[in-house]
Amino acid sequence: MISYGHHRYPGRLFVVEGTDGSGKSTQLSLLYQWLKSEGYSVFFSEWNSSSLVKDTTKRAKKRRLFTPTTFSLLHATDFADRTERDIIPPLKAGAIVLADRYIYTAFARDVARGCDRAWVREIYKFAVKPTAAFFFRAPLDVAIDRIASARPQLKFYEAGMDMDWADDEEESFKIFQGKILDEYDHMVNEFGLTVVDGTQPIRTQQRQMREIVSRYLREKLKEKAVLAK
């Protein structure tokens, strides 16, 4: 098993991270459009998207079957399937992979739920180290406002209601997001995350992102895409 930091593939992997409402998905889709228009072969991979695991996760959420440990392990299973199916093959083929949430989401959420830091990191040792990981940092109140306006009802696990931090969903969500933000802040140095200020205008954030991404792109990646067509 090749572990984190030891994978050597010709492709590039860019990931976005951040709390809910930090604006990361918007930025990633803008990046996607740009790379496509520049002629690169780009693949998109989302958190919690493995078709093998989807039904199990859905059922478990609906019936509230999760403990912090099984929540962590099932999401790791989902991520493993994505890695084996959607991430490694395109990277081997020299394509660009864009991931909306990556292992850092698990590190933040699972540790916020009480899982052991070292244990969670060990589980994800098989992950490919990203070329660059962007952490969209938005202050807690900004993120919560964005979520509140976008989603009328918070879901049980999303709000961290399984942890009995608070009786009220909104209150619980705030506590949970606060813990998650703390974990992200710890990871900035540990994993060398690139911090993007999520309160800046969307265009400013995108410009910063494109500037960094373009440093890692070579004409060669483009040629591959042309040949594939």
Which span sits near another protein by CB under 8 A: 63-71, 151-159, 205-213, 219-227? 63-71
Map the footprint of another protein across residues 95-124, applying CB under 8 A. 113-116, 118-119, 122-123
User: Is residue 48 a contact residue for another protein (CB under 8 A)?
Assistant: no
Shortest distance (Å) from residue 3 CB to another protein: 7
Distant-in-sequence, close-in-space partners of 5: CB < 8 Å, separation ≥ 6: 129
**Between residues 22 and 45, which has the closer beta carbon with respect to another protein?**
45
Nearest residue to 131 (alpha-carbon basis) of 6, 3, 1, 15: 15
β partners of residue 136: 196
Q: Does 126 bind another protein (CB under 8 A)?
A: yes
Give the binding range for another protein (CB under 8 A) out of 41-49, 72-80, 140-148, 206-214: 72-80
Tokens in use for 212? 């960094």
| Window of 36-44, 58-66, 183-191, 210-218 that interacts with another protein by CB under 8 A | 58-66
List the interface residues with another protein, window 166-205 (CB under 8 A). Answer: none
- CA-nearest of 71, 49, 9 to 221 is 9
Least distance (Å) between residue 14 CB and another protein: 22
Q: Which are the contacts of 85, defined by CB distance < 8 A and separation ≥ 6?
A: 50
Q: List, edge to edge, every strand of the sheet that includes 132-137.
A: 42-46, 96-100, 12-17, 132-137, 194-197
Say if residues 25 and 141 touch (Cβ distance below 8 Å). Answer: no
CB atoms within 10 A of CB 6: 10
**Least CB distance from residue 206 to another protein, whole Å?**
34
Q: How far apart are CA 163 and CA 161, in angstroms?
A: 5
16 vs 159, beta carbon nearer another protein: 159
Contact footprint for another protein (CB under 8 A): 1, 3, 50, 52-53, 55-56, 60, 65-70, 73-74, 76-77, 80-81, 83-85, 113-116, 118-119, 122-123, 125-126
